[in-house]
Amino acid sequence: MHSVGRFIVIDTNVLVSTLLTPSGTAAKSVGLVTSGTLIPCYDPQILNEYHSVLFRAKFHYNKSLVSQLLALILDVGIQVAAKLSTIDLPDESDRKFYDVAKTANAYLVTGNIKHFPKEEWVLTPAELVKIFTQ
């Protein structure tokens, strides 16, 4: 049984949405980290993807804001040595998020819910926000 506590793994697309729409639902889900409600989990592969995607020139994000967001995740988060799963995923590049969340008993928040197996701990930003604002 996957007993979810106060841990979260944030798919990169949620961070992209947060930076694009700071008042949106994705930003509210990331706000659960800034408020201390949830603790982010990551591994080096996840951090590498965050960095490579969020600093892409095509996004034109404020580099200082991106750096602050990544620093927050590092400062309050925990690094997880994920156990590699053998589950079939439509996009193999998503495995790192799934495996870290499964290993850490964490929520996995993603805007691409269909890329992951139907699990009670794999949630959209709206589903996550609803759980923590009831």
Residue 133: pLDDT band by 50, 70, 90 thresholds? confident
Quick: pLDDT tens for 37-60. 999 999 999 999 999 999 999 989
| CB contact at 8 A, 40 and 73 | yes
Domain assignments of the chain as residue spans, ordered by start: 7-132
Considering the entire predicted model, what is its pTM?
0.94
For the domain made up of 7-132, give the CATH fold.
Rossmann fold (3.40.50)
Q: Can you give the pLDDT at residue 20?
A: 94
127 has pLDDT over 70: yes
Question: CB under 8 Å to 2, separation ≥6 — which residues?
Answer: 102, 105, 119, 120, 121
How many other C-beta atoms can be found within 10 angstroms of the C-beta atom of residue 38? 25
